[in-house]
Amino acid sequence: MLMIIFLFLFCSYIPIWKIIDARWELQLYRPLHAATYSLNPHYHYNPNFKVTANIKIGLHKCLERMVSDAS
C-alpha cells in the first residue's frame, strides 16, 4: 500500500521536475558560473579540479564584461 502511494506521488511530480531541470540547465551553463567555479578556492585547490575549455572561455567572457576597456 505504501509503495503504491509513493509511486503515485512520484509520478505526479515528474512533469514538475522536468520543468525545473530544463530551467536549471539554461541557467547552469553561463559564464558567471564558470568564473565562480574557476575562482572558488574550495574547488580550485581540490585535487580533482579540472579546467576545461568551456570554463576558460566562461571566465574570460566574465572578465571581459567586468573590464570593458583594457587600457
Label residue 2 by pLDDT band (50, 70, 90).
Answer: confident
Check residue 59 and give left, alpha or beta (phi > 0: left; psi -120 to 50: alpha): alpha
Count of C-beta atoms within a 10 Å radius of residue 27: 9
Q: How many helices (DSSP H) and strands (DSSP E) are in the chain?
A: 4, 0
Q: What is the pLDDT of residues 20-39, one digit of tens each?
A: 888 888 877 888 888 998 99
- Evaluate if residue 4 carries a pLDDT over 80: no
